[in-house]
Structure 1
Amino acid sequence: MLTNNRTDDAATRTQHLEALEAMNYEMANYSLWLTGNSTSNFTLTPLNPVEMPLVDSLLTLGSQLDSMEASYYTNLTGFWRGDIEFHNLTSNSTDPWQPLAHDLISSANLTNATELSDRLGSWNWSASNKVAISVGDKLVWSKPHLTNVSKDIAVIHGKIDLTDPGSSDELRIDFDGIHFLSNGSIYALAASSGYRYRPDLRYAPSLVPEHRLNETAQVIEVEEYSRIAKNKEKLEAGTLDLDQDDDDNPKTRCTFDFFGQVDPSLVPQFQLEELEEEIDSPTGISTVKQPPLLMNGLLISKDCGMMYKLKDIRGLKSQSLYRKITTYAGISAIVNAILLLLLTRQMSRSHSAVGLARVSRYPFLAQSLIDAVSFVGHLTLAILADGRPSLAVLAPAGLSCILFVREAQYSVLIGQIQAPEDAETPLPRPPSPQPTPPPVPPTSDHEHEADNNDTHSETAPLIQPTPPATTTQAPAPPPPQTPQEQGFLRFLFNHIRTDPSARLWTIMSFFLIVVFRVVVILSLPLLFVGCLYAFMWFPQIHRAVRRGRTSGMSAEYLIGATLCRLYFLLYFMACPKNILDVEPRRWVYLVALFMGLQVAILLLQDLFGPSFFLPRRMVKTTGYDYHPPMPLPDPEAPEQSLGDCAICMDAIEVDPTLRQRPDDEKGVGVGVGGLWAQAGARKSYSLAPCHHLFHTACLERWLAIKNICPQCRRPLPPL
């Protein structure tokens, strides 16, 4: 339903049907011109006589080769990358071809500066130094009924992408033309994508040598009628894209002539044909080693007075690229499966509250963001690839998604367990001041005697005057406040600020939105992922030092996860022939070295202590001692215990070895054996910071579930 265009605007469909009818009318005139009928309205504009001499002075077009010694590639379908060099044809340079360039542009209207500026547009032509070309090469004579069409001519079309390194902006140029198989030469017309003028293949014969004009025109006639038939079928089936409107403000209005020449290979023709057939349809046979696919070319614009020289453009056939993507997808799926296995084993090792308290959540949060980027990248690659490679890339994409979910859940769980660590214990409120009673006036001795006499008398009791009571006015209660309605944004802010889980999910969502937004611009995701890699294990080192405890991560997980992560980083950032054609960055080796250094520090912390690499004066945190010396009970008491355990409610009995012998009471030392006995006895009890006493074994089992005191619910430090 999403791809069916039958429900589109009827006016749009009518417009495209009229365009197809116009193309049929144009091709009818083209066919009449091809047969020499004078009623044809088509006229082939001859090529400027100076243009081909200019091309010959800059590019050596191919010639026929001895098929037993050398040959040309016949199918150029694939992706090409290389360098380009900009030349201004209107400049007064000392190049030997400059007079020919001046003669070429003299016929163009370049004196009007306003019109020339409108043609050039907003693109920075001199900034581009890299080019990417996607080529589709089609043999027209492959159909059985086309027996009169030349077998030496193929129709070639594609896109040329120029990149501005300063702004990372791109300019796309469409080209359509002819490829001669016997000499590897290319003649094509080109124009900017979105411009109303599109390359018209009917005018391509004006570029080719004169002795090959007729056969070229016949091939173009067959190709154009084939395109019209396919577009009509797509329009009727509802699969033709009807939204390809011309851009009213294209980046440029320049038109180009594209001339290319494929470099010959020192391989006999029959061996190269066998190699190309094996690449297209693999059968497993042994073939000659694949020679490099190279091309040089020129991109000339007469109406804008400029030229690009394409030097040593290296190509990769589509089938080879798709096979390379499939191989990468298989290796990536294995690496992600290993990461998932390592993560599962690490989660099983540190599933208790004690284990989770020693692990930092931020390394897993960073890895989840990396896997989110990996999921988006692999999914995009699967959409752009065709056929079998797209299905293969779905495997690492799915595993990256699972890793992202598991790591995000694990980091949230760690945050929930460690939340009481930063919770502030509320201080007890001071007691409210009580009203002071009124002072009683002192009485004299005579009054005391009278009181004693009156006590034994039977007369009416003496009514003593009540002293004036001092009224202490209690502070008036505050007036009831009218509840104010809290806005949604304020409520959301307070909830994120106070709830650790909400805060963590908010941070993750923010980073994911940033990642999805900037993933189109290649430099920003690379910088973002590079920072995540460089500081992946640093939060774990900081937590171990701050808490005075080791990391709790196994060497298996640290080393395995680091190596698996570095596979992706080094493949895309250090390998010059990666599937995305990302240029190598030298700083990636520093990131890998920094990651290895962090892993080494974590492993050494398990051996020499969390703060082994810091000076003593910088170590501010010392671990809490759960086994301080305790006062022993009276030896004559009926129960020789330190008290009852707050967990199992059994008595914490005193080890008999703690009792001092008579020699000890006289000042004789306990000896080494006595010291070991006292140290072992201390391990049998644990005194929490809240002064609640436990059996050490009972407290260890409790802390495996929760890291709070089972009696007062206050957070406890690691045992």
Structure 2
Amino acid sequence: MDTQPLQQVPRSQEFAGRLLFVIILFLFLNGPGNQAPAGAGFPSARDYAQERITRSRQQLDVLNRTRWQDFAPKGYDTPGYEPGRYVNLTGFRDQDDYNWRRLGPWKERCDEFSKASRKEWVKGEEEKNGPGFVGQVYNNITGVVVGEWVRYEKDLGLKDQLTRHLNLTEISPHTDWAFTNEKFWTRNITGQEGKLLLRIDEKDVEELDLGDTSVGKRNAAWVREVGATMTIQDETSSGDGWEMRVHGVHWPRTGVVLMTTTSDKFAGVFGLPHLATNAGYYTSSQKLLNMTLEKTVERMEKAVWIDPSNPWTSSPDSQGDAMMPTPHCEFLVYAQVHPVVYPSISPRGENSLGRQKYIGEIEQELRFPNGAPIPPAPELKMSTVIFSPDCGFILESKGPPDFSHADGEHLVGLKQEVWLNDIEYWLLVFAVVMSAQILLLKAQSKEASTPSTVGRVSLYTVTMMLAGDAFLFVTLSFISTLAPNLFPSSLIAAFAALMSIALGIRFVGAVYNVQEPERRERLRLQLAAEEARRPPRLTVSPAEAARAAIARVVAERDGTAVATSGISAVPNQPSSITSPGLVGGAEAPRTQAEIPIIIPSDQDIDAEIEENRAAAPASTAPLLPITNTPANVQTQTPATSSFGALYVKSVMAFTFLLFVSASASSWSKPWRSAYIHLLSLTYLSFWVPQIRRNVIRNCRKALLWRFIIGQSILRLLPFAYFYLREDNFLFADPDWKAFCVYAGWVWIQVWMLVAQEILGPRWGIPKGWTEEGWDYHPILREDNVEAGGLPIGLVQVPNSPTLQRTDSGSSEDRKKKEGTVMSLDCAICMQNLEVPVVAAGEDAAGATGVAGMLARRQYMVTPCRHMFHSQCLEGWMRFRLQCPICRENLPPL
């Protein structure tokens, strides 16, 4: 029957059908009938966004109507009869019961930090002819600064340290909080000191001159918008600390920055002008926020159907304030940028660029580089005071005047452009390090190019190095994806890591395939040992089954009642199961050899036996089931896994380790540090498997020394950068003690490899722990001649066919004896070889010393008693593990 082929749907029609299905599914899921009804208790993210827009409009209106000093809450020094003044903003109301009593001390502390900075400024202006002078502040403070913080409690009494109880239902009735118990609030800093990091991102807009030129307010009239990501660490925090996003304003002429968090229970950005320290800052910040917040609210209204996110969220990585937010402590951040310390001045006391243009020229070249000759950019430095109005604590950066310069320098860091350039530079350095690792691995792969040399290399040593390169490749890939500014350099470093991984996988595959017979033999011996430990089970051999079949056939034909039980135990045991027979009119046990086989005289015995033997497996059922014996186990070949299966298992294990490492970033600091130290020590133990394999195989040297030393140094370099360099780009705390432990552990492993090559691979290990291996460098003694201890060619051993072959072409001139030195010709290089021999009856103590050990390293003796130069035989054994003379198999070197 003829069949017509099915018509294939064109790709354009197939794509159109899929697109139509996606559109119908989208309309179905977002249709009016699929949304939760109003008041059902299931509001959508769009409903939350609409409520947020409404509240933002109301709060913006309050900001426009209020004036300076409208918000003046009661403080510690406010008389009891005088009421406080509050504004109708969430968190700024009297009924919210925030701890605004500490607002006054916080502002005073902010003024103290600013005055201390101005004193340094004036002092630097006066010391024009000194080693350096202090100039203007940075106009754009986009960058990263890090330092130590301490808790400030000088303004508190005992009654002021009581815990406050806030009612979130009254403060923010429109929000469905995840929980309301203050004990579970996040970002609650309870420690006394810790680490603080600020990543400031200033808006790329021109500074606004609001036209206020009155005395004392001219600098405060210049203002711009700013945002930052703040990370605070203490002993109670998890991961890298409490991380939050703050928004605010920056006065570039004075270097003052005022920022705050914003959430459903605190309208921080709308009440920020009321937190300023003077009227000038209040006026300029109010005018700026009126313009910027109005534009932001308008954008929110236009994009409510597309983007319902919160533009002022304090969660840096997620929109945690959208639905069912988690309550947390709010923060007010006051930062004072310190004047720039000029690195060098001319003899006249003026910089080559000019004092007024110094900062401007540097910032212009950093943002828009055109090759202008500028000195290195000075570091970015600032001090800060942080106040939490709901949780009631005050934190400040650690530094002068309360602390000495040795204890802390407040917050010190780099401009963003300098920081990114530093990261790019070190990423390129890491790429060079990875390239050097590739060259060393290539040289080692070329050296281990034969089955004999590849078999010496430990599979786990190369695998551990490969895992480290894979981890670095994944990290650099994420950096190149998430940080566009670092894309070129991170891509180069990731490509170098990928090349190292590719070459490492190839080398691991070669090592795995060469060592496959070794694993099969080990598995075979393991199965044989397990079978030998089992209790003995009875079996029936084929010969016994044939004899029983013959007896059964004869008994059936002649009617003779003869039992034909041919049973034997496992090997090395006599037949213990007997068959009953008629002896003296009574049944007596008979062994297998005594079982009678009655055959008529007219039958061909041999033909009958062969016929029944051939038919026994098919026609005869044994009395007991046949089982595998140890002999059968030795003949079967156990199955082993392929390299593909090992590769999949390794990838799965590495993926699991990667997920654990990622989750470890959220652990508390002690547990995270312990995990990092354990993981680092495990990774830096890559020579331990090679040391173990040298002991098992009795191998003195498996790897090139330049590979061992080079890999040890190169893989310690990243640890040296992060553990020894104070201004590393991750701002990690230096820990020279931990690095000394890492370097010392690698140094110990290298010296163990050195000792294995010089003193022997099993040096220092008890003999009972390993099997006895062949010593290629034995002590030669004359009194071992009769025992056959000396190699062939040095002495004549009677009845030796090898000696007969050797003596046929030798003469007395080739064998000479001068005291304790004998000689012969090496069969590989055909050069003379002189070896020390201990005379008969003499003590061999001299041969066991360092000099004797180095002398024994010049020759090698095989188990077949042939002698060669060490270099000659080692070069031969790189290609073939057979004696060059008699072709007898040699143990691995």
TM-score, scaled relative to structure 1: 0.71
1:83-98 to structure 2, matched below 5 A, reads 83-87=148-152, 95=154, 97-98=155-156
1:347-426 to structure 2, matched below 5 A, reads 347-387=445-485, 389-422=486-519, 423-424=521-522
Aligned to 2:704: 554
Aligned to 1:718: 892
Task: State the distance in 1 between where 2:623 and 2:149 align.
Answer: 80
Aligned to 1:81: 146
1:347 Cα deviation from its structure 2 partner: 0.5
Change (3 A) 1:368 1:139: closer
Asked if residue 472 in structure 1 is aligned to residue 623 in structure 2, the reply is no
Change (3 A) 1:112 1:222: closer
Q: What is the count of residue pairs matched by the alignment?
A: 627
Asked if residue 256 in structure 1 is aligned to residue 401 in structure 2, the reply is no
Aligned to 1:134: 199
1:318 Cα deviation from its structure 2 partner: 1.4
1:197 Cα deviation from its structure 2 partner: 3.9
Q: Which SS does the other structure have where 2:387 is aligned? A: strand
Asked if residue 204 in structure 1 is aligned to residue 276 in structure 2, the reply is no
1:115 Cα deviation from its structure 2 partner: 10
1:615 Cα deviation from its structure 2 partner: 7.9
Letter in 2 for 1:575: R
Change (3 A) 1:310 1:670: closer
Asked if residue 55 in structure 1 is aligned to residue 107 in structure 2, the reply is yes
Deviations for 1:382-436, whole angstroms, at most 9, x for unmatched residues?
Answer: 334242x133112212222332343234224313312323414678999949569
Change (3 A) 1:244 1:284: same
CA contact (8 A) 2:310 2:321 kept: no
Letter in 2 for 1:55: K
Deviations for 1:8-34, whole angstroms, at most 9, x for unmatched residues?
Answer: 958878558846864884587469648
1:203-222 to structure 2, matched below 5 A, reads 203-208=271-276, 209-222=278-291
Aligned to 1:506: 649
CA contact (8 A) 1:133 1:160 kept: yes
CA contact (8 A) 2:225 2:249 kept: yes
Q: Which SS does the other structure have where 1:176 is aligned? A: strand
Task: State the distance in 2 between where 1:625 and 1:563 align.
Answer: 32
CA contact (8 A) 1:657 1:678 kept: no
Aligned to 2:232: 162
1:340 Cα deviation from its structure 2 partner: 1.0
Task: State the distance in 1 between where 2:506 and 2:889 align.
Answer: 23
Task: State the distance in 1 between where 2:639 and 2:368 align.
Answer: 58
1:203 Cα deviation from its structure 2 partner: 1.8
Deviations for 1:135-189, whole angstroms, at most 9, x for unmatched residues?
Answer: 122364459xx88698621212222222344663432333222222222222222
Task: State the distance in 2 between where 1:604 and 1:683 align.
Answer: 31
Of the three residues 356, 366, 370, the one matched with 1:283 is 370
Task: State the distance in 2 between where 1:617 and 1:134 align.
Answer: 61
Deviations for 1:647-675, whole angstroms, at most 9, x for unmatched residues?
Answer: xxxxx9923457798x99xxxx9857996
CA contact (8 A) 2:723 2:739 kept: yes
Letter in 2 for 1:133: L
Cα RMSD of the aligned pairs, angstroms, is 5.4
Deviations for 1:248-276, whole angstroms, at most 9, x for unmatched residues?
Answer: 66554332322222222344453122222
CA contact (8 A) 1:293 1:315 kept: yes
Letter in 2 for 1:317: K
Of the three residues 315, 325, 329, the one matched with 2:427 is 329
TM-score, scaled relative to structure 2: 0.58
1:185-204 to structure 2, matched below 5 A, reads 185-191=256-262, 195-197=263-265, 199-204=267-272
Task: State the distance in 1 between where 2:828 and 2:882 align.
Answer: 24
Change (3 A) 1:609 1:253: closer
CA contact (8 A) 2:466 2:501 kept: yes
Aligned to 2:806: 655
1:542 Cα deviation from its structure 2 partner: 2.5
Change (3 A) 1:533 1:657: farther
CA contact (8 A) 1:176 1:190 kept: yes
Task: State the distance in 2 between where 1:177 and 1:550 align.
Answer: 67
Aligned to 2:684: 534
Asked if residue 590 in structure 1 is aligned to residue 741 in structure 2, the reply is yes
Letter in 2 for 1:219: L
Of the three residues 97, 121, 125, the one matched with 2:189 is 125
Letter in 1 for 2:283: N
CA contact (8 A) 2:50 2:304 kept: no
CA contact (8 A) 2:210 2:284 kept: no
CA contact (8 A) 1:72 1:264 kept: yes
Task: State the distance in 2 between where 1:509 and 1:708 align.
Answer: 40
Deviates more, 1:670-679 or 1:358-367: 670-679
Q: Which SS does the other structure have where 1:358 is aligned? A: coil
Letter in 2 for 1:257: L
Change (3 A) 1:238 1:52: closer
Task: State the distance in 2 between where 1:622 and 1:583 align.
Answer: 49
CA contact (8 A) 1:119 1:254 kept: no
Letter in 1 for 2:264: R
1:204 Cα deviation from its structure 2 partner: 1.4
Change (3 A) 1:432 1:384: same
1:629 Cα deviation from its structure 2 partner: 8.6
Task: State the distance in 2 between where 1:276 and 1:319 align.
Answer: 9
1:358 Cα deviation from its structure 2 partner: 1.3
Q: Which SS does the other structure have where 2:202 is aligned? A: strand
Task: State the distance in 1 between where 2:652 and 2:417 align.
Answer: 38
Task: State the distance in 2 between where 1:571 and 1:515 align.
Answer: 22
Deviates more, 1:45-54 or 1:398-407: 45-54
Structure 1, unaligned runs of 5 or more? 37-41, 90-94, 439-465, 482-494, 633-639, 644-651, 692-698
Deviations for 1:581-607, whole angstroms, at most 9, x for unmatched residues?
Answer: 222232212211231332344345445
Asked if residue 346 in structure 1 is aligned to residue 456 in structure 2, the reply is no
CA contact (8 A) 1:355 1:552 kept: yes
Of the three residues 358, 364, 367, the one matched with 1:271 is 358
Q: Which SS does the other structure have where 1:517 is aligned? A: helix
Task: State the distance in 1 between where 2:182 and 2:639 align.
Answer: 54
Aligned to 2:296: 227
CA contact (8 A) 2:337 2:383 kept: yes
Change (3 A) 1:374 1:229: farther
Change (3 A) 1:363 1:77: same
Change (3 A) 1:628 1:230: farther
Structure 2, unaligned runs of 5 or more? 1-18, 20-25, 36-43, 69-86, 95-99, 126-133, 172-179, 213-219, 312-317, 343-354, 399-409, 533-538, 549-557, 568-620, 627-637, 666-671, 778-787, 794-798, 832-859, 866-872
